[in-house]
Structure 1
Amino acid sequence: MAGGEHGSLGSVRHLTSVDGLSDAELHHLVQRSAWYAGPGAAGVRPLEGCVVGSFFRTTSTRTRSAFATAALRLGAGHVAYGPHDLQLNTGESMEDTARVLGSMLDALVVRTAADPAELRALLAQNRMAVINAMTADEHPTQAIADLSTIELHFGKIAGLRVLYIGEGNNTASALALALSRYANVEFCLATPPGYGLDSSFLERARTQAAQRGAQVDEVHDVTEAMEDADVVYTTRWQTTGTSKADPDWRTSFLPFQVNDALMHRNPRAVFMHDLPAHRGEEVTPEILDGVSSIAFRQAEQKMHSAKAVLEWCVRGRPA
């Protein structure tokens, strides 16, 4: 049992990568996230008696707030740890830290620094659910929030055409792994040369897509990008906690701005952004704040998807 004497009821479940979810589990989390955004979820408190911790080594507005408020709204207690709060700073190992926290918490939401090995070290214990709130290579809970936003807007995900434009970062990795699990989806990543998706993620997404009649493409010339998409998605060019070796990198990114010209090629598309946004860089203010944008609805949806993730990790699939 997860947590033993804690509040958990089912076997411990971690969410560290979209790859770790079956199709049924991914679809459940997306649909449950959408359900939590509706009126039927008011007052539902499946985590009464549980305690959720959050440990963020880097800055966060949406993800940190989403999981903290989700835990509280679902009836759990919440303990927050900042980058300097744990004895990791004095030399204690992550494995020992995990063993201690696992004896007290039902779940730990973790945003590590650059090294995904920190997250893996937390899995050495088997009493506390571990949730990846972003590593350098993947942001799985962002993808669940994104897909549930798409589900709420279109009433489906299968068969949609999605254009991601910008850096092939951790958000793009998670999106590729998630969208490729839906039938007949067309997903095009338009990235500057040298800033594409990591080859291992691209290969895995393409393999999954081929099994489901879906398609994942990557192009490095914006004129070759998908047109007439249902969704145009971007992220800020300077991913949280990273830097670029080329001092002139902005020149490479300028053609990949989401602006009126790009949206004119995708006239029926909604615009999505994982935020924070730098208006005038990756997207113009007119698009981010315009009628086609659902970016701030997408941000709010992170709280509802956090509820679904916490419920699934701590309590298991609801009846």
Structure 2
Amino acid sequence: MSLTIINEKKHIISLKNLSKQEVLDIVNRGVEYSNGTVELGYQLKNQVVGVYFTKTSTRTRTSFTTAALRLGANVIAYGPNDLQINTGESMSDTLQVLSRMLDGLVVRTAGSPNVLKAFANQKRMSIVNAMTEDEHPTQALADLTTLMCHFGELSGLEIVYLGEGNNTAVALALALAKFSNIKLSFFTPPNYQIPANVLQYAKNEAAKNNTVINEFHDMKKLPKNADVIYTTRWQTTGTTKPDANWREIFDPFAVTQEVMSKYSNSIFMHDLPAHRGEEVEASVIDGTSSIVFQQAENKAHSAKAVLEWCMR
């Protein structure tokens, strides 16, 4: 009787689950892909990757689809209405079935990652969290790839984030906390901050590496120095704010030319999509300090690194 050997697959559910070395391995590989120094087409040959998005996506869905194809995999795309989850089948049962047919599954959901976490106990199919309501791990991996491409290292960077303490902010905090001698300052509107338990966890991890993570709600406390100014859009598609006057609350945290003028040598980053005239002035995002489209392109290179790390 022959014995079927199944290569154990790895998962990216939360950055909490990855070591500094694992993050660094993915980021450095992403840089290699970005630099065009890696031959493509053999890494995932004969494997099948599912891409299941229940929420809209331009960059993340395209980056993982093209990454899988360029690495030699076949791709099956599922839209929000394609699976029997819509007729009452549980996510757990769905994942059990898919794990017997796919080698990897990239998932974006509107809810909690708890089901993904539970299913990460199996090793037949890699699970990649392409964003849940509380964390966007692959965005942070792409952002660190962009920072590494631009600066050559992460240590010593001073980063200022302006805007809501959303899943992108959470992922940045969890990722950068693993590295040394970084100053990461979040400026978030009152009552729209990073969840307290997540922020404290990131602070504790950062302290082990001589990295400082702080959160403020007053723009008068902007630091004297910054290498990077980062923001995200204020209103994620399909979400609402509890305050009717939320735009007035957010307005002071917009990235304006006045803000950028405080940091003459800094770069501007945005995870996109951008709403010019809201979270960022057009002259900033379209100006010479902006690297947002290099950042977007690096999502595709980072996606290659993520899939290769998970599935080989």
Distance, in Å, in 1 between the alignment partners of 2:239 and 2:114 is 17
Task: Check if 1:49 corresponds to 2:46.
Answer: yes
Picking from 297, 300, 309, the partner of 2:297 is: 300
SS of match in other structure, 1:41: coil
Contact residue 161 and residue 229 of structure 1 kept, 8 A:
yes
User: Is 2:270 aligned against 1:310?
Assistant: no
Q: Does 1:236 align with 2:233?
A: yes
Per the TM alignment, residue 200 of structure 1 is displaced from its structure 2 partner at its CA by 1.5
Distance in 1 of aligned mates of 2:298 and 2:130: 15
Alpha-carbon distance change, 44 to 77 in structure 1, aligned in 2, over 3 angstroms: closer
Letter in 2 for 1:166: G
Q: Counterpart in 2 of 1:163? A: 160
Determine helix, strand or coil for the equivalent of 2:21. Answer: helix
SS at match of 2:234: coil
CA 116–43 in structure 1, closer or farther in 2 if over 3 Å, else same:
closer
Hey, what does 2:200 align to over in structure 1?
203
Trace 1:73-84 onto structure 2 (pairs within 5 A).
Answer: 73-84=70-81
Match of 2:259 in 1: 262
1:248-283 per-residue CA deviation (whole Å, 9 max, x = no partner) reads 100001011101110011111100000000000000
Letter in structure 1 aligned against 2:34: A
SS of the residue corresponding to residue 40 of structure 1 reads coil
| Alignment root-mean-square deviation, CA | 1.3
Q: Does 1:182 align with 2:182?
A: no
| Aligned pairs for 1:12-23 within 5 A | 12-23=9-20
TM-score after normalising by structure 2: 0.96
Q: What TM-score does the superposition give when structure 1 sets the normalisation length?
A: 0.94
Cα distance in 1 for partners of 2:310, 2:233 equals 30
Once structures 1 and 2 are overlaid, which stretch shifts more, 92-101 or 116-125? Answer: 116-125
Deviation at 1:100, TM superposition (A): 0.8
* Alignment partners' CA distance in 1, 2:9 and 2:83: 23
Which residue in the other structure is 1:283 paired with?
280
Q: Is the 8 A contact 1:161 1:185 kept in 2?
A: yes
Aligned to 1:110: 107
1:70 paired residue number: 67
Deviation at 1:44, TM superposition (A): 4.7
Structure 1 window deviating more from structure 2 (203-212 vs 33-42): it is 33-42
Which runs of 5 or more residues in structure 2 are unaligned?
Answer: none
SS in structure 1 at match of 2:37: helix
Number of equivalences:
309
Match of 1:96, SS state, is: helix
1:248 aligns with 2:245: yes
Q: Tell me what 1:99 maps to.
A: 96
